[in-house]
Structure 1
Amino acid sequence: MSANWPISERALLEALVGDRRQLASIRQVELQDGAERGVRALVFSTGAGLDFWVLQDRSMDIGLLSWRGTPLAWHHPDGFADPALRPSSSDAGRGVQRALGGFLVTCGLDNVRQPRGDLPLHGSLPFTPARLISSFEDWSSPTPALIAEGEIVSAHLGKSCYRMRRRIEAPIAGSSLTIKDWVENIGPNEAELMILYHMNFGFPVVAPGTTVSLNHSPVPFKAPITSGCAKTDLEADCRPSAGTNGRFQVDLHRDASGPWPGIHVRLSGEASALPYMQFWRDPRPRRNVLAIEPANCDRNSDGTSGPGTTLAPGEVWTSTLQIEFSGP
C-alpha cells in the first residue's frame, strides 16, 4: 500500500467489508493467568503482518511482537508479570531482572544500567502503569494508522520528577511502527534525565548467521551457546550512534533457515536525542537475547552511566524512533 491512500482505494474498502476492524485494529485486553493476571494491553494488528502488544501497565512498552507470523521479541521466563509483583527496588536494586522482557523495556528516567546509590538497575520507570489517553484506528488521515497515546509519571517529591507522554503509531497495511516520547521535568529543580530503550530480540531472528550493523558498519555478534557457559559470556558494547547525516541506523538481519523465514529489522532515529548505541548480548543457553539499546548517556567502565541530559523545570526532551520490518 502506498503512503497516501487514493480515494478509490478507500471507497473499495468500504464496499468490501462490514467492519474495517476486519482489516486492522487496536483491541484492549486484560491478561488473566499467573503472574500476568490483571495486566492490560493494547493489541495492534496492522493487517499487513505486523502485530504487537502495547502493555499499558508496563510503561506503554511493547511485549509480544511478530512480523508475518514470526515472533521477534525475547520473552522473560515469567512472561509479562504484574508490576506490583516485581518491584525494581527489590533484590538490592536489581528487581528489574525479575521482569525484563518483551520487545521494548524503556529504562530511566533517573538512572539506567547498574545501580547508583539508592537508584535501582535501569531506574524507577520500568513497569510503571500508564494512564491511557487514547487508542484508535485513524482511517481519515492521508496515511491511515493505528494510534495509541499514554502518560507515565515517575516522580519523587525529594528527587527527580518526570512526566513522559508516549505516542505509538503503526500505518494500516504497513510494515513499521513509530515511538514518539516527550519527557518533561515536572519538578521544582533541574534534573538529570537518563533514558535507554532496551529492545530485546530473540530466536529465530537471533541465531547462528545473524548479522548486525550500525550505520552500515558491522557490529560483532556472538553466536548462541548451546552448552557450558559463564556470566562472563554477557557482553555490552556502547558506542556513539551518529552516522554521517546526524541520524543513526541499526540493521538486524537473518537469512531464511530451516522452517524459519528470513527477517530484516531496521531501527532509526535522531542522534542528537540519543547519541549512544549500546548492544547487549546474553548468548547463554535458555537466554539467547540480543538487546539493541539507543540511549542518551554513555556507559562507564564499571557498568554505570555517564552524564545524562539536564532538564530545567518545565523543559521537555523529545525523541522519535522508527522500526521497520521486511522479509521474507
Structure 2
Amino acid sequence: MAQLYATAMNRQQIESRCGQLAQFAGVRLVTLQDGVERGIRMLEFRSGTGLRFTVLIDRAMDIAECEFRGYAVGWHSPAGFRHPGLHEYEGESGLGWMRSFSGLMITCGLDHILFMHESPADNYVYQPRQKIQHSIHGRVGTIPARLTGYGERWEDDRCFLWAEGVVSQGTVFGEHLELYRRIEIEVGTNDIQLHDRVVNRGFYRTPHMFCYHLNVGYPVLDTASRYLAPIQDVVWAAHADEYRTQGVGYQQMPEPQMGFHEQVWQHEMKADDQGHVPVALVNDRLGLGIEVTTRKDQFPCQYQWQNFQAGQYAMGIEPSTNHVLGEGAARERGELIWLEHGEERHYDTRIRILADANDIAQCEQRIRAISPQPSEAYPALSGQFRPLSPPPQKGGA
C-alpha cells in the first residue's frame, strides 16, 4: 500500500480519489526551451510525498533538480543545465567540463575520472593514436541517452515510477562503453533507486573508471549542517599543506565564504553487514537531510568535496571505483579496471531524503552503529591508500 498524505491506501482507494495518478505523483517527459538549456529532454518525477526531481535524458540521465516540500536539495551552479551541443570536452585545457557542471548528480567516467590525464592507447592498436587526452572527469556526463522507456508500474497495491535509458560512449579505434541506467522510486516514498550497468560493447580491452558527483546545495547545506559517515580513516586531503588555514574541517559546514579554495577529502568507509555504506548531509535546524547509500564492493572509495565559495556554495558526496590519486596511480598500482568484450560492472545506489528529525536521528544511529566517525574537525591524515581488489567482471547482456 502507498502512504500518501498520512494515509495508507491501496490501488482502488488511490484511483477513487483522482482521475489520474498525475494529480499528485507521476513521471512526465518535457523539453526545456530557453537559454543554455534549450532543447534538453527532461523527465520530471513526483513521488507524492513532496519530493520532486528531474532527470536530464540528454545529459547521461543524470539527476538535475531535486526539491522536497519546497526546499531545494540539489545544487545549481552558475553553469546551468547546459545543452550537450554547447559542450567543448577538450576546452580550457581539459577544464571545459566545469561549464557543464551543475545539478544534484553528475556521472563521471566511463573510462576516466578525476583530473586531466594522458593515457597510453596501445590497447586500441591504431598507430596514429599513441595517447589519449582525458579532460577532467571523463566524457559520459554530457552524452545524450537513448530513452528506452519510462512510466508507472503497479505491483498489487504498490506503484513504482521508473525510467530507463542507454548512454553510449564510443569512437572508431577506441573505447565503446555503454551505460544502462534505471531510475526508480516507489510512490509514497522518498527513496530514489539508481541501478547502473556499464558494459564493454567493443572488442578492445578497455579501461573503466566510475564516480558519482552528488552535489547538495542550500538550504540542506547551511551553517552548522553536518556530514555523517562511517569513517574508519581519513586518508587524504587536497589541502593538507594548509589544513587549518580556511578554518573549515570535514564534519561541520560553514556559511558561504569569499575567496574559498575548494577542499577535497578521501575517507576510508566501513560497510555494514550487508556491504552497504551510508553517507549523509543533514540540517538539524530544518530537520532535513539527504542520505546516499552505496555498496563497498562496487564503490570502494569515497571523496567529500567542499566548495563553499560564495555564489557556488555546495558540498559533494562522491563514491568512486578508484582512489583520488587518479588514473596514472591506478595504472601503476594495478588497480585500473579493464573490461573485455561483453564484460560489465554493476552499481546500485539509494538516494534518500531525510524528511524530519526522526529520519535524521535514525540515519545517524545507523551510521554510528557501523563505525563512529572522527570527532576532530581536522583528523590526522593516514596517507594509507588501501589496495583495491576489484571483484570479477560479469559477462552477458
Matched, 1:229 2:259: yes
Give the CA deviation at 1:204: 0.6
**For residues 310 and 212 of structure 2, what CA distance do their matches in structure 1 show?**
24
Q: How many residues align?
A: 319
Counterpart residue number, 1:269:
294
Give the CA deviation at 1:179: 0.5
Matched, 1:183 2:198: yes
Instruction: Note closer, same or farther for the CA distance 1:305–1:93 as it changes in structure 2 (3 Å cut).
Output: farther
**For residues 207 and 85 of structure 1, what CA distance do their matches in structure 2 show?**
32
**For residues 327 and 178 of structure 2, what CA distance do their matches in structure 1 show?**
26
Counterpart residue number, 1:126:
141
Matched, 1:78 2:73: no
Query: Does the residue aligned with 2:14 lie in a helix, a strand or coil?
Result: helix
Q: How does 1:90-239 map to 2 (within 5 A)?
A: 90-117=91-118, 118-141=133-156, 143-215=158-230, 220-221=250-251, 223-224=253-254, 226-230=256-260, 233-239=261-267
Q: Which is higher, the Rg of structure 1 or of structure 2? A: 2
Counterpart residue number, 1:29:
30
Is contact 1:113-1:304 (8 Å) kept? no
Give the CA deviation at 1:239: 2.6
Query: Does the residue aligned with 2:67 lie in a helix, a strand or coil?
Result: strand
Counterpart residue number, 2:311:
286
Unpaired segments ≥5 residues, structure 1 = none
Per-residue CA deviations over 1:211-268 (Å, capped at 9, x if unaligned) read 11212779814634545325xx211111333424222110211112xxxx32121111
TM-score normalised per structure 1 = 0.91
Choose from 325, 331, 339 the match for 1:311: 339
Counterpart residue number, 2:280:
251
Is contact 1:114-1:304 (8 Å) kept? no
Is contact 2:205-2:340 (8 Å) kept? yes
Matched, 1:48 2:58: no
**For residues 8 and 226 of structure 2, what CA distance do their matches in structure 1 show?**
41
Amino acid at match of 2:293: S
Is contact 2:161-2:187 (8 Å) kept? yes
**For residues 81 and 93 of structure 2, what CA distance do their matches in structure 1 show?**
21
Instruction: Note closer, same or farther for the CA distance 1:284–1:8 as it changes in structure 2 (3 Å cut).
Output: closer
Amino acid at match of 2:38: R
Q: How does 1:55-74 map to 2 (within 5 A)?
A: 55-74=56-75
Is contact 1:115-1:304 (8 Å) kept? no
Give the CA deviation at 1:142: 5.2
Unpaired segments ≥5 residues, structure 2 = 119-132, 235-248, 357-397
Is contact 2:76-2:102 (8 Å) kept? yes
Per-residue CA deviations over 1:108-130 (Å, capped at 9, x if unaligned) read 01111101110110001111100
Query: Does the residue aligned with 1:204 lie in a helix, a strand or coil?
Result: coil
**For residues 284 and 152 of structure 2, what CA distance do their matches in structure 1 show?**
33
Query: Does the residue aligned with 1:126 lie in a helix, a strand or coil?
Result: helix
Is contact 2:79-2:98 (8 Å) kept? no
**For residues 295 and 27 of structure 1, what CA distance do their matches in structure 2 show?**
31
Give the CA deviation at 1:173: 1.2
- Aligned identity (percent) is 28
Per-residue CA deviations over 1:112-165 (Å, capped at 9, x if unaligned) read 110111011000111110000000011345531100000000112222220110
Is contact 2:301-2:322 (8 Å) kept? yes
Instruction: Note closer, same or farther for the CA distance 1:323–1:159 as it changes in structure 2 (3 Å cut).
Output: same
Is contact 1:114-1:305 (8 Å) kept? no
